[in-house]
Amino acid sequence: MKLTLKIWRQKGPHVKGEFKTYVHEHVSPDMSFLEMLDVLNTELIKKGEEPIHFDHDCREGICGMCSLYINGRPHGPLQTTTCQLHMRSFKDGETITIEPWRAKPFPVIKDLVVDRSAFDRIQQSGGYISVNTGGAPDANEIPIPKKIADEAMDAATCIGCGACVAACKNASAMLFVAAKVSQLALLPQGHPERKERVERMVAQMDAEGFGACTNTRACEAECPKGISVAHIARMNREYYTAMLSSYELPSKAGGE
C-alpha cells in the first residue's frame, strides 16, 4: 500500500507545531498502525531526519499508552486502541491525518506525545481504598452479587488512555473520572471513602481544566473498552448525594 500521511510535528511544549506530509511507500495491510509508523521512522532515521515521536508501550491493547487522533477520531476508525488498529482498515492511496490528543490539560510534549499526568493527579486525589495492615483477608469473605461485580469490572477496564477527552467536543474527562468513581462506588471495599472520593476527584478534574459534559456520548462511542455513559450518570448521582450529605470537616480540626 502507498499512503500519504499528514503528521503533526512539534519540537517541544512551547514551540509552534505544524503538519508535515510524508509519502509512505512500504505499507503492508497486515501492519498495525504503530508498526506502520515504526517503518516510517526507520526511513527517517536512515535519511538523518528526526523520527516522529509517539506514545506506545504494551502494543496489546491493555496499557492505555498509545494515543493518536487519526482522521478525526481517537485511535482511528475502529473502536480499539491504535496498537490494535491495522492498516487493512485504510485504503491504498489514502491520505491520513495524524494529530495528538488536543486538550488544555494534555499539553503536547513533542510531536504526537502528550502529557496525561492530569489523569494521575485525578486518580491520586481519590481513586484509592483504605486497606488495613495485618493478615491477608479471605478473598471471598465479602459477598458481592455477580451483576454488581460485573458492572464494577466494566468500569475497571478503563485503561486511562484519554480517548474520551480527545473525542469530546468539550475535552471533558467525565468518562474517565466516572469509570474510576463507579468502579469503587459499586464495591463494598470502596465505601469508606465513597463520598469524599467523588467530591475530590470531581474537584481535581475541574481544577485540571477539563470541560463539562454535554452528553453527546462521543466518549462512549470512541472508548476502546466500550465503557458506558451509564457510569457518568452514576458519578452524577454519587456527586449530588455526596455534596448534599457528606460531613464537612470543621476548618480548624483538632490535632494540630
Partner 1 sequence: MNNWFSRFLTSSLGKKLLMALTGLFLILFLVVHLSGNLQLLKNDGGRSFNIYAEFMSTNILIQTISKLNFTFILLHVLLSLYLTIQNRRARGSERYAVTSGKSSIWASRNMGVLGTLVLIFIVVHLRHFYGEMHFGSVPTVNYDGKEVRDLASVVDYWFSKDWYVALYVFSMGALGFHLWHGFVSAFQTLGLNHPKYNGLIFFVGKTFSVVVPALFAWIPIAMYFNI
Of 20-28, 60-68, 104-112, 181-189, the segment contacting partner 1 by CB under 8 A is 104-112
Residues 164-193 that bind partner 1 (CB under 8 A): 167, 169-172
Question: Taking CB under 8 A as the rule, does residue 107 contact partner 1?
Answer: yes
Contact 126, 193 (CB under 8 A): yes
Burial of 71 (0-12, 13-18, 19+ CB in 10 A): middle
| DSSP-derived secondary structure for 29-87 | TTSBHHHHHHHHHHHHHHTTPPPPP---SSSSSSS-----EETTEETSSSSS-GGG-BG
Least Å distance between CB 5 and partner 1?
Answer: 13
CA atoms within 13 A of residue 97's CA, in its CB half-sphere: 7
Binding site partner of 240, from partner 1, ligand HEM, none, Cβ cut-off 5-8 A by kind? partner 1
Binding site partner of 211, from partner 1, ligand HEM, none, Cβ cut-off 5-8 A by kind? partner 1
Binding site partner of 210, from ligand HEM, partner 1, none, Cβ cut-off 5-8 A by kind? partner 1
Question: Taking CB under 6 A as the rule, does residue 4 contact ligand HEM?
Answer: no
Instruction: Name 200's Cβ contacts closer than 8 Å, sequence gap at least 6.
Output: 125, 126
Least Å distance between CB 170 and ligand HEM?
Answer: 7
Nearest CB to ligand HEM, comparing residues 82 and 172: 172
Binding site partner of 30, from ligand HEM, partner 1, none, Cβ cut-off 5-8 A by kind? none
Least Å distance between CB 111 and partner 1?
Answer: 13
Question: Taking CB under 8 A as the rule, does residue 221 contact partner 1?
Answer: yes
Residues 177-236 that bind ligand HEM (CB under 6 A): 214-215
Please enumerate, as own/partner, the contacts of 52-61 that have beta carbons within 8 Å and a separation of 24 or more. Answer: 52/7, 52/9, 52/111, 52/112, 53/109, 53/110, 53/111, 53/112, 53/113, 54/111, 54/112, 54/113, 55/112, 55/113, 55/114, 56/82, 56/83, 58/83, 59/32, 59/34, 59/83, 60/84, 61/224
Question: Taking CB under 6 A as the rule, does residue 28 contact ligand HEM?
Answer: no
Q: Which residues bind partner 1 (CB under 8 A)?
A: 6, 17, 19, 69, 71-73, 97, 99, 102-108, 167, 169-172, 202-203, 205-206, 209-218, 221-222, 229-230, 232-237, 239-240, 243-244, 246, 248
